[in-house]
Amino acid sequence: MNKTIFLTGIVLGAMAVILGAFGAHGLEKLVDADAIQTFETGVRYQMYHALLLLVLGNMQALPEASKKLVFYFVLVGIFCFSFSIYLLAMNSLTDFDFRVIGLVTPLGGTLLIVGWGLFGYRVYKYLC
């Protein structure tokens, strides 16, 4: 599981760099400044949580079951939060109105908060 968590962190981190470059250079002529700022928020949170997965994957002191639970909350949270933000930021580029999936974003944020809470609790429980 450590290898999976670590590799997922690497992939999500690399994707955040690629998406950040796309947001800075590819979207500037397609959407307004507010949409670019929104897109960058998704990238920033994706990178923060990719780094969290790198730390989690390297923690040998936590039991696998604890890491797995945190991993799933964070992974699903990233996809719900960041990826819904990417779609919402590019809403003007398509005929589909991505605002109908707007509730996915706070759900993703909630999952990320729960992931952090579980991580903190498990670290406290097993390392303190």
Calculate helix-pair angle for 64-89, 104-127, nearest 10 degrees: 160
pLDDT at residue number 126: 87
pLDDT at residue number 99: 83
A 10 A CB-CB count for 106 gives 12
Q: Where are the domains of the chain?
A: 2-127
pLDDT surpassing 90 at residue 55: yes
**Distance (Å, rounded) from C-alpha 125 to C-alpha 128?**
6
* Window from 13-17, 41-45, 60-64, 75-79 with minimum mean pLDDT: 60-64
Contacts of 127 (CB under 8 A, 6+ apart): 61, 62
96 pLDDT band, cuts 50/70/90, is confident
Is the entire prediction scored with pTM above 0.95? no
